[in-house]
């Protein structure tokens, strides 16, 4: 079996600093969380950025550049940025950061997330029975194609986010029209309210539905990642973990840092007997062509 790639999703766009004070917000906090996660075994970091004052999610090329510059000065971890953004962000805002960063020497992300369809996203309060958040994460076909082609043009490897089984076929369609290039890399995002639940049988069905030669990783909302991760580790997949996805380390135990979550997955891998990939090994396994974003852009 290939080595395990752990991705640390350090901040995301939905968790608030009030929910967990360990959530990194400023560029330095986000960069430090990324570097600490790499130290604990992550080969890749998945980034969003936030307004340093309010902590609100924003999709701003200057903030991304600040974070990526800080990370690259101290670590060779693979930088993966979101193009899913957050609720209320426009398509142009979400994808615009790719050309904006590609235009800055040494700051182009190597990987970017590419949501492969629309999701009827929500958060339900178990306590009150109220929907505390509801947002349709819209990704119509013309935008899917434009996002994929923009990444391809700038040699940024798409990480295809799969919330529902049919989205795998969407990616295959995009490949058939030349918008995506094989081998494809997938991230299964399970347990989001409005999409596929985080269950072992769902994960097995998804991985068995992938096109030949594809690589895959799984993340899940809340504590369910700790049920999905061992399945992925034991069956040749990869794992994403981080405060973007869960603010708990165990039932009733709040996470203090992203590092702790990465360390928990690294421990699982050790128990199962699967070594961790370094960033350099992960680049090779994922066929990332623009190592460290330093090669010429077109
Ligand atoms: Zn994200």
Between 120 and 296, name the one with better pLDDT. Answer: 120
Rounded distance, CA 28 to CA 68, Å? 10
The phi and psi torsions of 92 (rounded to 5 degrees) equal -65, -40
pLDDT at 9: 98
Give tens-digit pLDDT for 146-174. Answer: 999 999 999 999 999 999 999 999 999 99
pLDDT at 290: 67
Residue 87 has pLDDT above 90, yes or no: no
Share of the chain above pLDDT 70, in %: 97
Which residues have CB under 8 Å from 35's CB, separation 6+? 71, 74, 75, 77
Residue 183 CA to ligand 1 centre (angstroms)? 22
pLDDT band at 65 (very low <50, low <70, confident <90, very high): very high
SS3 54: coil
* Average pLDDT of the segment spanning 211-219: 97
Residue 96 has pLDDT above 50, yes or no: yes
pLDDT band at 291 (very low <50, low <70, confident <90, very high): low
Residue 78 CA to ligand 1 centre (angstroms)? 15
Rounded distance, CA 50 to CA 24, Å? 9
Residue 127 CA to ligand 1 centre (angstroms)? 26
First-to-last alpha carbon distance for the chain, in angstroms, is 35
The rounded mean pLDDT for the chain is 95
Which residues lie at CB < 5 A from ion ligand 1? 82
Residue 225 CA to ligand 1 centre (angstroms)? 15
CATH topology of domain 6-113+141-160+216-286: TIM Barrel (3.20.20)
Residue 261 CA to ligand 1 centre (angstroms)? 16
Residue 290 CA to ligand 1 centre (angstroms)? 21
* Average pLDDT of the segment spanning 239-260: 97
Residue 112 CA to ligand 1 centre (angstroms)? 9
Residue 94 CA to ligand 1 centre (angstroms)? 11
* Average pLDDT of the segment spanning 205-220: 98
Rounded distance, CA 170 to CA 210, Å? 11
Residue 114 CA to ligand 1 centre (angstroms)? 10
Q: Which two tokens stand for residue 251?
A: 């039932």
Residue 188 CA to ligand 1 centre (angstroms)? 12
* Average pLDDT of the segment spanning 7-23: 94
- Nearest in space to 237 (alpha carbons), one of 225, 246, 248: 225
Residue 204 CA to ligand 1 centre (angstroms)? 23
Residue 281 CA to ligand 1 centre (angstroms)? 23
pLDDT at 298: 38
Q: What residue ranges do the domains of the chain occupy?
A: 6-113+141-160+216-286
Least confident span in 120-129, 185-194, 270-279:
120-129
Residue 272 CA to ligand 1 centre (angstroms)? 27
Residue 77 has pLDDT above 80, yes or no: yes
pLDDT at 297: 43
Residue 80 CA to ligand 1 centre (angstroms)? 9
Residue 296 has pLDDT above 60, yes or no: no
Share of the chain above pLDDT 90, in %: 93
pTM, two decimals, is 0.96
For residues 280, 285, 289 and 290, what is the CA-based torsion angle, rounded to 10 degrees? -30
Q: Is 173 exposed, middle or buried (0-12, 13-18, 19+ CB in 10 A)?
A: middle
């Amino acid at each position: 079996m290939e080595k395990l790639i752990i991705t640390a999703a350090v901040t995301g766009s939905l968790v608030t600093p009030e929910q967990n004070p360990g959530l990194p917000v400023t560029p330095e906090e986000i960069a430090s969380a990324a570097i600490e996660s790499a130290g604990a075994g992550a080969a890749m970091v998945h980034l969003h950025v936030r307004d340093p004052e309010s902590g609100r999610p924003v999709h701003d090329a200057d903030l991304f550049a600040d974070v990526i510059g800080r990370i690259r000065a101290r670590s060779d971890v693979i930088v993966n940025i979101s193009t899913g953004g957050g609720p209320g962000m426009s398509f142009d805002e979400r994808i615009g950061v790719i050309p904006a960063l590609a235009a800055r020497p040494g700051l182009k992300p190597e990987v970017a997330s590419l949501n492969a369809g629309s999701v009827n996203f929500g958060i339900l309060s178990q306590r009150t029975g109220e929907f505390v958040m509801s947002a349709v994460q819209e990704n119509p076909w013309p935008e899917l194609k434009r996002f994929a082609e923009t990444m391809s043009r700038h040699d940024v490897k798409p990480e295809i986010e799969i919330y529902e089984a049919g989205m795998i076929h969407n990616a295959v369609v995009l490949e058939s029209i030349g918008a995506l290039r094989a081998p494809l890399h997938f991230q299964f995002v399970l347990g989001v309210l409005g999409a596929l639940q985080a269950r072992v049988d769902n994960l097995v069905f998804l991985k068995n539905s992938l096109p030949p030669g594809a690589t895959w990783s799984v993340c899940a909302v809340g504590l369910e990642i700790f049920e999905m991760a061992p399945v992925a580790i034991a069956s040749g997949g990869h794992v994403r973990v981080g405060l973007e996805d869960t603010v708990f380390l165990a039932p009733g135990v709040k996470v203090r840092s992203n590092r702790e979550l990465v360390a928990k997955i690294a421990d699982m891998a050790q128990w199962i007997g699967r070594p961790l990939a370094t960033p350099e090994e992960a680049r090779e396994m994922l066929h990332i062509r623009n190592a460290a974003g330093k090669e010429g852009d077109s």
